[in-house]
């Protein structure tokens, strides 16, 4: 009987070593060059009037507790702010600058 326990222990240890070695660390996502830059928020309870008019509100079914508020300034700059519907707080914001039209 002691031989069986020893064999089971060795097999268990070998299995643990194989599992530990085969695990790979998952890398954290990084921003890709050319991505949409973040906007610095001075307050998490309001958005600046300079962002322009609210033009749309959107949501994603996977995150029902969040909404995106889309704003457009007079110069065409578009910003969106992610708002928590649970805490009524602006969590983060991003800015999409409008470039000049390319001429052929």
pLDDT, tens digit, 9 for 90 and up, residues 44-74: 999 999 999 999 999 999 999 999 999 999 9
Going from N- to C-terminal start, the domains of the chain cover: 37-104
Q: Which has the higher per-residue pLDDT, 77 or 101?
A: 77
Q: How far apart are the first and last CA of the chain?
A: 84
Q: Are 53 and 62 in contact (CB under 8 A)?
A: no
Q: Is the pTM of this model over 0.85?
A: no
**88 Cβ neighbours under 8 A, 6+ residues apart:** 45
pLDDT, tens digit, 9 for 90 and up, residues 11-20: 666 656 555 5
The confidence band for 39, taking pLDDT boundaries of 50, 70 and 90, is confident
């Amino acid at each position: 009987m002691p031989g069986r326990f020893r064999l089971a222990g060795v097999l268990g240890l070998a299995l643990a070593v194989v599992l530990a070695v085969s695990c790979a660390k998952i890398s954290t996502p990084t921003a890709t060059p050319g991505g949409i830059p973040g906007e610095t928020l001075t307050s998490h309870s309001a958005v600046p009037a300079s962002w322009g008019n609210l033009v749309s509100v959107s949501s994603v079914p996977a995150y029902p507790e969040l909404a995106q508020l889309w704003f457009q300034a007079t110069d065409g700059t578009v910003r969106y702010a992610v708002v928590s519907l649970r805490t009524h707080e602006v969590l983060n914001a991003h800015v999409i600058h409008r470039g000049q039209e390319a001429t052929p």
